[in-house]
């Protein structure tokens, strides 16, 4: 781990507090996509960001939102670079992020450990509306690649589930 | 990404990137005409994952837009399987089953070690696991469904079988144990088809004319029409932006 200077920590906090463009209840820090902030010189900062999915179109909006936030904080020269490794995992979403997802009506991803990929349906997914664990899968892909569409068999409401990756 | 990709890495990136790009475009053709809304969304999401992989891979070779929009048919290095037309939904699912099974095994192997594709492969293998899961579930549902769906799924599996041998032809720049990859692929596909009450096709998996041909730039008839549509806008309005 590279140790950050006080300035880098401050800039990291500002960049990390930018909301996710598709799930605005979450900050980029809570989503776990921030990979580092480096001051390259006076007024020159590089931010490393990792995409949730390789093809996630939100990454470009995230990059320009970070640039704007840091410009407003007086950093004239901001570069946002994308890093792929180590790959992002839904385990990188913070506890606070999970709580906010549920509040927003999206069932948070289940913790999964090192293997990755589709999780066998052993752990129940809880309906974010009524709390029932009696839910069924409607489609493995929903409004975005990172979500699956489910329905609660108790309250009959459909809901998104942030699927494990 | 560094600007100095060596020739062998570039050759491999082009082959894998073209596979992802071309299949992404084919799946995108379902937008507006998928059997149900959920499938429309699913196929578009799979296409988006593949497009993301294609962008990373083609960027190792050169300018991604130039590579996608300004190359002639003979310069594409994708396998012939991914360029096959969507056909009915069963054909699309059979193509997905064959290709996602291959891609999952391939990325799984590339993810180990520290080769030039390890980072992307480790990330993409998790996405492709969902593509494979999606294809398997539909294969089971159609194969073990009605008489009509069973017949169509069998027909689709048979029709695309001849394009699957090419996936295990050597790719310049990739150092892989291809026989092991092929055995694992056959085991996996045989298992899914069996559970779906389908028969593993008996025909040859390569033809004299088709073995490895896509990787050498020889493509099937429908690919030219697909490219014409994919490249039309960019060629007619060079440099256009939103």
pLDDT one-digit tens code per residue, A48-69: 999 999 988 889 999 999 999 9
pLDDT over 50 (residue A1): no
Report if residue A46 sits inside a domain. yes
Of the candidates A30, A51, A82, which is a domain's last residue?
Answer: A82
- How far B203 CA lies from chain A's nearest CA (Å)? 33
pLDDT over 70 (residue B4): no
pLDDT tens digits for A112-151?
A: 765 555 655 556 899 999 999 999 998 888 888 889 999 9
CA distances from A106 to A23, A26, A34, A144, A148 (A): 10, 12, 22, 12, 10
pLDDT over 90 (residue B227): yes
A113 and A151 both lie in a single domain: yes
Written as six digits, the tokens of B147 are 């008489």
Per-residue confidence (pLDDT) for residue B205, from 0 to 100: 84
A77 and A133 both lie in a single domain: no
A76 and A99 both lie in a single domain: no
Q: Name B8's Cβ contacts closer than 8 Å, sequence gap at least 6.
A: B172, B173
Report if residue A88 sits inside a domain. no
Please provide the average confidence, as pLDDT, over all residues in chain A: 89
Element of type H or E holding A82: strand A77-82
pLDDT band at B126 (very low <50, low <70, confident <90, very high): very high
C-alpha–C-alpha distance, residues B116 and B148, integer Å = 46
Helices within chain A (DSSP H only) = 6-16, 28-31, 58-72, 95-104
Report if residue A89 sits inside a domain. no
Quick check: A140 and B130 CB within 8 A?
A: yes
Higher pLDDT, A119 or B218: B218
pLDDT over 80 (residue A14): yes
A137 touches chain B (CB under 8 A): no
Report if residue A27 sits inside a domain. yes
Domain span at A119 = 94-162
A19 and A66 both lie in a single domain: yes
A72 and A101 both lie in a single domain: no
A145 and A113 both lie in a single domain: yes
B197: left (phi over 0), alpha (psi -120 to 50) or beta: left
Considering only CB atoms, which chain A residues are within 8 Å of B129?
116-118
**Total structural domains within chain A:** 2
Report if residue A134 sits inside a domain. yes
Fold held by B7-236 = Ferritin (1.20.1260)
- The residue ranges of every structural domain in chain B are 7-236
pLDDT tens digits for A75-90?
A: 999 999 999 989 999 9
Quick check: B45 and A117 CB within 8 A?
A: no
A128 and A158 both lie in a single domain: yes
Report if residue A87 sits inside a domain. no
Report if residue A76 sits inside a domain. yes
Report if residue A1 sits inside a domain. no
pLDDT over 50 (residue B1): no
pLDDT tens digits for B193-206?
A: 999 999 999 988 87
Once rounded to an integer, what is the mean pLDDT over residues B131-145? 97
């Amino acid at each position: 781990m590279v140790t950050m200077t006080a300035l880098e920590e401050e800039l990291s906090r500002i960049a990390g507090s930018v909301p996710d463009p598709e799930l605005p209840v979450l900050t980029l820090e809570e989503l776990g996509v921030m990979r580092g902030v480096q001051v390259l010189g006076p007024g020159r900062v590089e931010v490393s960001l990792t995409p949730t999915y390789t093809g996630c179109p939100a990454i470009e909006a995230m990059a320009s939102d970070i640039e704007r936030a840091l410009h407003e904080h007086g950093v004239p020269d901001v570069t946002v670079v994308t890093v792929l490794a180590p790959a992002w995992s839904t385990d990188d979403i913070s506890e606070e992020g999970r709580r906010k997802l549920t509040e927003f009506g999206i069932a948070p991803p289940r913790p999964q450990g090192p293997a990755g990929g589709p999780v066998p349906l052993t752990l129940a997914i809880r309906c974010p509306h009524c709390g029932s664990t009696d839910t069924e899968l409607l489609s493995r892909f929903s409004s975005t690649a990172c979500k699956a569409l489910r329905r609660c068999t108790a309250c009959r409401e459909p809901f998104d589930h942030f699927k494990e990756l | 990404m560094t600007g100095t990709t060596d020739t062998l890495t570039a050759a491999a990136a082009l082959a894998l990137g073209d596979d992802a790009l071309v299949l992404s475009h084919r799946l995108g053709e379902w937008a507006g005409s998928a059997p149900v809304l959920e499938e429309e969304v699913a196929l578009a999401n799979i296409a988006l994952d593949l497009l993301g992989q294609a962008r990373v891979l083609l960027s190792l070779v050169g300018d991604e837009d130039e590579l996608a929009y300004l190359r002639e048919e003979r310069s594409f290095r994708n396998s012939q399987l991914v360029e096959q037309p969507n056909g009915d939904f069963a054909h699309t699912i059979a193509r997905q089953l064959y290709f996602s099974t291959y891609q999952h095994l391939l990325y799984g192997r590339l993810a180990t070690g520290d080769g030039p594709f390890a980072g992307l492969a480790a990330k993409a293998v998790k996405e492709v696991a969902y593509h494979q899961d999606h294809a398997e579930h539909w294969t089971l549902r159609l194969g073990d469904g009605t008489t009509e769906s069973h017949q169509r799924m069998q027909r689709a599996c048979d029709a695309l079988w001849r394009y699957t041998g090419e996936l295990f032809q050597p790719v310049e720049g990739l150092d892989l144990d291809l026989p092991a990859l092929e055995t694992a692929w056959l085991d996996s596909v045989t298992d899914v088809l069996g559970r779906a009450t389908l028969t593993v096709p008996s025909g040859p998996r390569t033809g004299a004319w088709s073995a490895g041909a896509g990787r050498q730039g020889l493509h099937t008839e429908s690919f030219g029409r697909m490219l014409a549509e994919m490249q039309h806008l960019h060629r007619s309005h060079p440099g256009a932006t939103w």
